[in-house]
């Protein structure tokens, strides 16, 4: 490898390290869940409190916050009765969070449960 080749390879490696570490501090997220299918979500915030505020700002109807950090969150409702049974979950993978939320919705009496909202944060 020539001197220029080594210099270029070094510059690419440094750029990759810098770009890869840029999102490390932005791994806070939240899913806000309210009545009758209301929801809000926020992801890639630097602090959990900021993510929770942002998610609550998008949700109406007595909402509560479910924090997620480097994870995925999912919210399921009964598609025929949005004000009825619901479920939510946080997991490291989206599919797992969605499956858990749907199972919870059915466990609480849902007949036609569907995913209403989902979000993944950071490396989730």
- Structure confidence by residue, pLDDT tens digits, 6-43: 433 333 333 333 334 344 456 789 999 999 999 999 98
Total residues belonging to the chain: 124
Given a cut of 90, whether residue 90 has pLDDT beyond it is yes
Long-range CB contact pairs, 91-95, < 8 A, 24+? 92/124, 93/124, 94/118, 94/120, 94/124
CA atoms 66, 119, 38, 107: torsion sign: negative
The predicted pLDDT at position 28 comes to 87
Comparison of pLDDT for 98 and 24, the residue scoring more: 98
Query: In which residue are the tokens 């900021």 written?
Result: 50
- Structure confidence by residue, pLDDT tens digits, 29-85: 999 999 999 999 998 899 999 999 999 999 998 899 998 888 999 999 999 999 999
Q: For residue 18, list its beta bridge partners.
A: none
Given a cut of 70, whether residue 87 has pLDDT beyond it is yes
Q: How confident is the model at residue 2 (pLDDT cuts 50, 70, 90)?
A: low
Comparison of pLDDT for 95 and 24, the residue scoring more: 95
Strands (E), the chain: 28-33, 39-45, 64-69, 72-78, 81-91, 113-120
Comparison of pLDDT for 82 and 121, the residue scoring more: 82
């Amino acid at each position: 490898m020539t001197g220029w080749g080594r210099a270029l390879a070094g510059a690419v490696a440094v750029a990759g390290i810098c770009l890869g570490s840029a999102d490390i501090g932005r791994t806070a997220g939240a899913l806000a869940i309210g009545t009758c299918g209301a929801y809000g979500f926020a992801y890639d915030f630097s602090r959990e409190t900021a993510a929770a505020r942002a998610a609550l700002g998008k949700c109406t109807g007595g909402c509560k916050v479910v924090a997620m950090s480097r994870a995925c969150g999912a919210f399921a409702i009964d598609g025929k009765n949005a004000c009825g049974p619901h479920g939510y979950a946080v997991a490291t993978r989206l599919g797992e969070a969605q499956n858990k939320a749907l199972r919870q919705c059915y466990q609480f009496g849902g007949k036609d449960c569907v995913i209403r909202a989902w979000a993944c944060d950071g490396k989730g």
